[in-house]
Each structure stands twice: as structure tokens, then as C-alpha cells.
Amino acid sequence: MLKIKLKEESNSALYLQLYKELKKKIKSELESDTKLPPIRKLADDVGVNPATVVKAYDMLADEELIYKKVGSGSFVAPDRKIIKSENGEDMLKHGQIKLSESINFASAAPSTDLFPVEDFKYAINQVLERDQGEAFSYQKSQGFLPLRKSIRKYLTKRGIDSSLNQIQVVSGAQQAIDIISKIFLDYKDQIIVEDPTYFGALQAFKSRKADIKCVKMEEDGADLEEMESYLKKNKIKFFFTMQNFQNPTGVNWSQEKQLQLLELARKYDFYIIEDDILSDLYYNQNRVNNLKELDDQGRVIYIKSFSKVFMPGLRLAFIVLPETLLPEMLEAKYATDISSGGLTQRAFDYYIREGLLDKHISLQRNLFKKRYKLMKNQIINNLPNEIKITFEITGGLYFWLKLPEKQDAQKLYEKVAQKGLVFSPGYLFSNNNRYSNYFRLSFAAVDDKQIVRGITLLRDIYNEFRGTAKNDDYSPLL
Amino acid sequence: MLKIKLKEESNSALYLQLYKELKKKIKSELESDTKLPPIRKLADDVGVNPATVVKAYDMLADEELIYKKVGSGSFVAPDRKIIKSENGEDMLKHGQIKLSESINFASAAPSTDLFPVEDFKYAINQVLERDQGEAFSYQKSQGFLPLRKSIRKYLTKRGIDSSLNQIQVVSGAQQAIDIISKIFLDYKDQIIVEDPTYFGALQAFKSRKADIKCVKMEEDGADLEEMESYLKKNKIKFFFTMQNFQNPTGVNWSQEKQLQLLELARKYDFYIIEDDILSDLYYNQNRVNNLKELDDQGRVIYIKSFSKVFMPGLRLAFIVLPETLLPEMLEAKYATDISSGGLTQRAFDYYIREGLLDKHISLQRNLFKKRYKLMKNQIINNLPNEIKITFEITGGLYFWLKLPEKQDAQKLYEKVAQKGLVFSPGYLFSNNNRYSNYFRLSFAAVDDKQIVRGITLLRDIYNEFRGTAKNDDYSPLL
């Protein structure tokens, strides 16, 4: 019999409490296909109305945690510790693979236990109290004015001067990229991207049928000689770049290269789209430079998202752009989704004003710094020497690793996924099927124990994979 | 001296209470340029810390309700009862026009006092209690599974069968249109739209460089003969339509024409995009038919938004599409903004499950029905006969009015806007600068008193405008 006790005096509705308690038991102690108590019995045992049990069971069924058989009741769904990818898609299909425990080196989004839920809940309630229905009306396409003011202050602290007319609020960095593509790109327009780069950006550019030139990454930024030789013969609309702890390589641009890049932009007259997701996560120095700080010609369009250091599901980011582009920006934002959600903008504004964002970022930095050190250590000391860290990294959330030529990271992925470990194979970040022997390991969504177990598992599977398995020197589990 | 009393025991922070009280006074009793009390004095009077006053003043300044003069303190900003357009943009610029009271016949979004703020706040808190950080993680690109299940049930009640794989959650109807454009439209692709139609849709289609054919609206739907003669010579990707209480004409398609349209779609092999915003707001009959209910060939892609009958600032809508289009849909949604906000999806799901949406829609229907009757009455009895209601309407939120040929609705707009009344001139809904003597009057954001005053004002200004002003027969103000 299930032991469940609900609190009459709780703020939470009874069926939600029951749902939560049952979910806990399903995730911890109950075996797959265990029959749940009949509705009337559980209602009697717990001391609630049968309708309350029905609602709780419905919610569990809708989340596919239990299934119903007509005439025989409800049962716990087959065990499936599904691994979520970065965008929440299941990486392994239901029932396909039985996992003991999953380790997710693929997700670059922090795990949900790191989110400041209580603080943000407080912000939401304060804002609803303050603004009532206004919080749910259309916002200006450019964004909620007080939030834009908060953002301007945030930028000033980071060395970026801006006017309110230069700040556009959007629903996440992906939307920023999509809207910028709308403004700039027509069929066959030429652009340059870093190689490798973020596949969501490639998708958005391809959707506008852009002609994409890739310039390879070096340890201090993209290869500017390769870029210039292309620029001499081609007129590009923009260069898309992540200057700090680039995705997927982790590379941080040197200031020297940043200045050279700005000079190229001047000389060949193009815009630079700087997508900044991780510049707050520096581990070695005081802080790193955004390109936008050095931009005195108004050539850098700066995108800032808080997904990776805050909460990805908020869908909130902003763009700093030259004021001359504002009319086109407003039109493109309107055609895209009119405006971003009002409540989110207001609550986030409140959160920044209360100084909670700066506090949270600094906590995250310290936490990820520890994971970074552990992960680096584990890679160097525990993986075979032939798996190389491609670039020395000093911040961010991932390592870009290289297998010996002719090894296929996608095949390795398939092997490790069967044991419940996932990472991101290199081809995902390429526009032309390169990087088949590379992969990205992220430490955003794994704890210390999982880092150690994951690297050990990866080593063992790799050793089998290349046909030279060694069965000694297991590192102890933490 | 300002009389302000705050509640120590309130849930709301003191500075927010102070901000709200001051805002009330600024909007009701305080004249423009009135000096506000010095910080220290107000702090003493109210019995709070000076820092609390500073925060409240800052918030007011950020919303441009007060302004600061260095060395002399804070002042109430110049009176400006700005009228917001549908998407929250200011329709009259700051300081440009001094209004006694504004009447907004332009906005098709309900006024904020109609929003179910308390119920939705409860839903948000229940969901945060239940889901914690999960509510802020990436959701699946297709949408939160339990919400998709709630939507399926909602659709079944309205006669639309669907599978979960056919339902895509998006951030509002505008995003739905944008994403569908991404999937279908390349340079010079041909489509058909209703004439006149929603300008946000035209913007999205133009952004993909579509070749747009407009087919004129009749009292029972678009002119299908005109459409067929075009279809005989051209291959179109889709037809974009609002079947119920069309924007801006208010026309409801007859079932006969709905069936003919589906037959044309079969014969000439194209999709139909049905944008349904207002079908819940029927006033004469039991309910009206969505085209999707009659679609047995899977040719209708159905967009449902709750903006107009719920809360526009939520940015939530969904698409029902043929399952074969799902892969392209997921790719397009990912490239657009990865996924819609998690908290909103979860809270809305809770709201539907609790039966609150159905209850709210039915309240809205009764309320808008009364406004509709009053507005119709006022138009017929109070506007000059030469201003005609173009189509008999039986639901929705607007009337499509026609001035005599050669009169210019934009010029009339400029006249009435000076007196604080706004509406939507006809050219906004045209792809080729037609409808210059038409305009849309919406009753979404005005109360009974404003309807009567607005129509009377419109009549008087129109009479002057055409040079035949009459100064008698004012209707009494309600």
C-alpha cells in the first residue's frame, strides 16, 4: 500500500499534492508496470474525494508517467530515464533503451535545480500585484520600457554604452538570430560564420537561403587571413560570431584579433553579429571583453541571452543595434510575433532591479568554475591521450574534443548512448559535414559525480570502440 | 500634502505599494508639472525608509510618469493620456496632442480590466509549486505535452478531431503565420489572401517575398469565382483566411461557401490557412463553424489564438496541421525561437484543466454581445446615413464602415485623433492601397459610455469634415 499524507492547510490544491507525491514514488520506489491502487481505495486511504484521485492520475497519464488499461486500472509506465537534449527533445525514444542512470554531456543548458525559482516566483507575484492586467496586455514591440532601462544599466556596467532606442527585447537568442536574418538576408546573400558554429544559427541562415562561407576557428579567434581573402572577392552582409567561449569550441577571441576584426569590418563594410551567451562565465581572469565594447563605428549588433546562466525556458534576450536599423527591427519583430511576453519582461526587470541577476550570475560562475576544473582534470588524466582537447579554454560550458582522424564521433555517440551517456557529435556544428572526428562535452547539466562517472564510462567505451579495450585502472566512483 | 497610507502586513513590498498609490494620484488628481514631495519628507510622512521612496520614484520615472530636475526634485510628467494601438505602440506621440479623454476604436485587444488576472496568478503559483525549476527549462519545440492534451480536448468539444502529433504550440497567432510562411514560401511563390485582410499577415508574407493575390470579400465569404479564375492560371501554395468574423470586415463565411472552398482546394491542390481568433464570439446563433471541422482531406492548417478573448500579452496560440508536415514544422519552430515559454504553457494548461477558460470565454461573449448591440445601434441611429455598415455582422469585435467614394478615411482619422478618438483606416488592411474610404471601428477596448461618446464625436467631426456640420441633436452622454 502507498503511504501518502497530504496537508489540508497547504497552499497547493489536494490533487496537485497527490500528483507530486505519486510522481516522487514513481520516480524512486515503484517498478515499471506496478498497478496503482484503484481510485476509490486510494481516495479512502488518503482521505480525499475520488475526483481528486482521478485528477492526479489524469495528470500523471498526460505526462506519460502512468498508463491506463480499460477495465483493469492504472499502471506505472515502463522505466525510461529519458535524456533531454538542449532544447528539451527526448534524445532516446520511449522504451528503446533501458538505462541504469543517464549522464548528459550534450545539454548546454544548466540543470533545473540551479534555477532561482523562489526568487523569480517572488518577482512574478510582486509584478502581478503591481501591474495587474497590464502585465498580460500587448507590450511595445521594442520591449517593456523599464526593462530596457534596466538593460541599459546592466550594459553600462559591462562597458557597453547604448541608448534606449538601441535596445530591442526578444524571445531568446534564437529569435534574435531569426529576426536579424529577416532584416538582412535575401536569397543568395553572402555571410560568413565561424567554423564550427552553433547549428541553430546555421538553420536560421539557411531558412533565408543565405550563401554561407565558413572560416575556421583558431585558438584566439577565427582565421582572419582566410576571412580577408574571401572578403577581397565577395561582398558579405555580416559575420556571425561568438567572441567569448564560442560554441562549440570554447575559444575566447584575443583582443588583438577583436581589433583586427573591427578593422576588417570597416575596410570591407559589413556588420558583425556578436552572439553573447557565456561571457559571464570566465574562470581564469577578471572578466573578458565583448566585441561590442570595442566597437566605435556602430558595426556590431550585439545579442545577449540569459538562457545559459539563468533560465532557458524564460525565452528572453535582447539585441543592441545601431539606431538607424530600429525601424526595420521593429517591423521584423512585429512580423515575427508582435512582442515578447509581458509578464516575463516585467518579472525579469524586477529581478534585475533587485540586484538578483548579478548575484545569481556570480553564484553560477563559481559553481561552473568548479565543474570546469574537475572536467578538465578528468579529461586530461582519465581519457586516452589520443583524445585531445582541441583548444585551451578558460570559461564557458564545454570542451571541444578531437578523436584520431578516421574515427567517427557519431558512431562513438551511438555506442555510449546505449549506456546512457550522451554528448554532441561534431557534425552538428558544421555546415558541410566536417568535424566527423570531433565532439563537444558540456558540463552544464551534470554534477561532480556524473562528470567522473561519465568520463570513466566514455574512456571504457572508447577503448572497446577502437578495439583496444583495457579493463584495469577504473577510477573510483565519487 | 499627499495622503498615503501603506499596509505593513501586505504581501506587497512597501516601495511597490507606494509606487501604486503615487501612480493612482498621478493619474487621477495631480496636475502636470506638480512638484512631488522631497524624498525625506515623503518618507517621514508615510513612515518608511527614504530608500523606499527613492525606489518608488525611480520606477515612476522609468515609466515616464514623473520627471526629475537636478537640484529641484521630481515632477508629474505632462498630461498625456496616450492611446495604445493593438500591439501596445503609442498612437499619439508624447506631448504632441493634449487629450481630455481618449476613446480607442482602433484596438482589437480587450482592455486590461477584462483579464482574469487573479485566476491566472493562482494558476501560475500552483504550477510553480508543482513543477519548480522544470517550469523554466526548455520545453519541447512542439509544446508542453499536457498542454497539447488539453488542447486536443478543447478541439474535440468544438468538433475538430486531431492527434497529439498534429498540435504545435506557438507564441501567438503572428508567430504561427510567420512559421507557416517559413515552411511554405520561397521567393515569388504565389498565395491568395482575402481582400481586405489583417496587415500582420501581409507583412509576414511579404517578408518571404511572396506573390500575393487578393480576392475580394463578400457578405458570405471571399468571391470564389474570382478565386477560381485565378486558380485556373496559377499554382498557389495556400489561401489565407479568417472564416469567422473576419478581420477587418467582420464577415462570417456561409457553410455553403466553406464547402465550395474545400472543393477548390481539392481540385487545385492547395492548403488553406485558417486563422481563428474570434469564432468564440458569436452573438446571434448557437455557434459558428470553423472550416477545420469540415476538412476531411487534411488541407486546412488551423491557427487558434486566445489573444482577443483571453490575454494578448501571454503570447500563446497553437496550430493544428497535417501530421506529414510535422518534421518541417518542428525545424521551423526551432529556427524561430526553439520553443515557447514554459511557465506560460504550464499555467495555461492548468487554467484549461480547471475549466476556467470555458467559463471566461462565455463571460466575454456575453459582455461583448452587449457592446456589439450598443455599437450597432449607435452607428445606425447616430452616424449620418452616408456612412454605411459594409457587411451585416453577427459576432466578433468590429464593424467595417464605408464613407462615400472620394472621402479619405485617413484624413478623417487625422481629424478625430486630434480630439482623442482613434480607429483603423482602411488602407491598413490592403495590399495595394485600396479601401481609402473605409475604416474599422472596434469595440474591444471601450466601455458603453465611450461607445456613445465616441460615435457622437465621430458624427460631429465627420459633419464638419465633409463641410456640412450640424450643431443640433447631440445625444446625451451616458
How does pLDDT run across B352-397, given as a tens digit for each residue? 999 999 999 999 999 999 999 999 999 999 999 999 999 999 999 9
Whether residue A301 contacts residue A180, with contact meaning beta carbons closer than 8 Å, is answered with: yes
Residue A388: its H or E element: strand A388-389
A136 lies within 8 A of chain B by CB:
yes
- Asked which of B16-25, B90-99, B116-125, B208-217 is least confident by mean pLDDT, the reply is B90-99
Separation CA B387–CA B404 (nearest Å): 7
Q: Is A332 on the interface with B (CB under 8 A)?
A: yes
Cβ of A182 under 8 Å from any chain B Cβ? yes
8 A C-beta contact, residue A1 and residue A45: yes
Report how far apart the first and last C-alpha atoms of chain A are (Å, whole number): 35
Examine the predicted complex and report whether its ipTM is higher than 0.85: no
Using a CB–CB cutoff of 8 Å, tell me whether A130 touches chain B: yes
The pLDDT, as a whole number, for residue B293 is 96
Condensed to tens digits (0 to 9), the pLDDT of residues A417-439 reads 988 899 999 999 999 889 999 99
Alpha-carbon distances of A61 from A54, A111, B142, B342, B351, rounded to whole Å = 10, 24, 18, 19, 18
User: What's the confidence (pLDDT) of residue A467?
Assistant: 66
Contacts of A174 in chain B (CB under 8 A): 334-338
Interchain CB contact of B203 with A (< 8 Å)? yes
CB-CB neighbors (< 8 A) of A59 in chain B: 146, 353
Instruction: Give Rg (Cα) of chain B.
Output: 25
pLDDT, tens digit (0-9, with 9 covering 90-100), for A209-223: 999 999 999 999 999
Of B88, B145, B334, nearest to A139 by CB-CB distance is B88
Residue A128 to residue B109, Cβ atoms within 8 A: no
Condensed to tens digits (0 to 9), the pLDDT of residues A305-356 reads: 987 788 888 899 999 999 999 999 999 999 999 999 999 999 999 999 999 9
Reply yes or no on whether the pLDDT at A89 is more than 60.
no
Closest C-alpha among A169, A111, A129 to residue A145: A169
DSSP code of B54? Answer: H
Nearest residue on chain A to B60, alpha-carbon basis: A146
Residue B140 in contact with partner chain A when CB distance is under 8 A: yes
Q: Cell 532606442 appears where? A: A165
Which of B55, B114, B336, B428 has the most A C-beta neighbours within 10 Å, making it the best mutation to test the interface with A? B336
Q: Which domains does chain B have, with CATH numbers?
A: 14-76 (1.10.10.10), 103-109+359-465 (3.90.1150.10), 117-354 (3.40.640.10)
- Among chain A residues, the shortest Cα distance to B21 is held by A130
Highest mean pLDDT among A279-288, B220-229, B281-290: B220-229
What is the chain B residue with the closest CA to A87? B138
Task: Give Rg (Cα) of chain A.
Answer: 25
Chain A closest-CA separation from residue B137 CA (Å):
4
Q: Which of B133, B204, B337 sits opposite A117 (nearest CB)?
A: B133
Shortest distance between the Cα of B203 and any Cα of chain A, in A, equals: 6
Judging contacts by C-beta atoms under 8 Å, the chain B residues touching residue A149 are 62
A109 touches chain B (CB under 8 A): yes
CB pairs under 8 A between A and B: 235
* Interface contact A62-B342, CB threshold 8 A: no
Confidence band, pLDDT 50/70/90 cuts, at residue A70: confident
| B414 min Cα distance to partner chain A (Å) | 22
Query: By the CB < 8 Å criterion, does A165 face chain B?
Result: no
Give rounded-to-5 percent helix, strand, coil for chain B.
Answer: 45, 15, 40
Polymer length in residues for chain B: 478
Asked whether the beta carbons of residue A338 and residue B139 sit closer than 8 angstroms, the reply is no
pLDDT of residue A86: 52
pLDDT digits 0-9 by tens, A96-105: 333 446 899 9
Q: Give residue-wise pLDDT tens across range B337-361.
A: 999 999 999 999 999 999 999 999 9
- Cα distances from B399 to residues A153, A348, A386, B380, in angstroms, run 45, 39, 73, 11
d(CA B206, CA B183): 14
CB B411, CB B437: distance < 8 Å: no
Q: Which residues of A touch B86 (CB under 8 A)?
A: 138
Q: Tens digit of pLDDT for each residue in B158-200?
A: 999 999 999 999 999 999 999 999 999 988 999 999 999 999 9
CB-based contacts of A368, cutoff 8 Å, min separation 6: A281, A283, A397, A443, A444
Q: Which of A139, A171, A198 to mutate to test the interface with B (most CBs of B within 10 A)?
A: A171
Query: Is B109 touching A (CB cutoff 8 A)?
Result: yes
Is residue B290 a contact partner of residue B274, using CB atoms and an 8 Å limit? yes
Whether the pLDDT of residue B278 is over 80: the answer is yes
Predicted local confidence at residue B473, as pLDDT: 41
Our CA-based measurement puts residue A34 at a distance from the nearest CA of chain B, in whole angstroms, of 22
Over chain A, what is the mean pLDDT?
89
Any B CB within 8 A of A49 CB: no
